[in-house]
Copies of this chain bind each other. A is one copy, B any other.
């Protein structure tokens, strides 16, 4: 499917959600879906969905709806989920372990290829059969394997030193769970921040508003 026109940032931000919902539908053996049904499930308007999916060419056919498998594959392709980019995890504490264990890297465009930590007690333990190595070994690993992406599950105070080293070693992208503001310090890199506390603060606001309405 041709889609050479640049896709807007807002559409891109919605693609992972489409991908998830379509994946669920596939699992339930549904073959086609109308924009109206999809919109009801996703909480978007049908016209928003038609507009978004039109960016990628002729998926919807008036009166026939979308072929779910085709659309799922195409969105996966646009997102680059069929890549297998080497990613390394720095930080094997609770959060790092949770990320390594829960995330389905293979179906998200990545291969988790090494795990580093500086806690001697963790070195040699395995997560998903990958041995935890000391951060001292990062340089030698990166010089051979050239991972493009690093997942940072380390304290904020450690992030500057580690990210400086990784950028010097050619890492281009960070999945950043620390609250250190990487983009302010470096340019030409990609950073996807997971700010869990922002999400918690939003919840606080929404609950406060709900209680206000109810009182």
Contact = CB atoms under 8 A, between A and B. Distances in A.
A61 interface: no
A208 interface: yes
Contact of A108 (B149, B183, B204): B204
Contact of A16 (B110, B194, B202): B202
A103 B200 CA distance: 9
Interface stretch (A30-38, A77-85, A133-141): A77-85
Contact of A172 (B85, B109, B190, B207): B207
A94 B98 contact: yes
A206 interface: yes
Given A98-B95, A179-B20, A194 B199 contact: yes
A124 to B, nearest CB: 19
Interface residues of A, number: 56
Nearest to A108: B200
A70 interface: no
Interface of A: 12-13, 15-17, 19-20, 41, 43, 78-81, 83, 85, 93-95, 97-99, 101-105, 108-110, 148-149, 172-173, 175, 179, 183-184, 190, 192, 194-208, 210-211
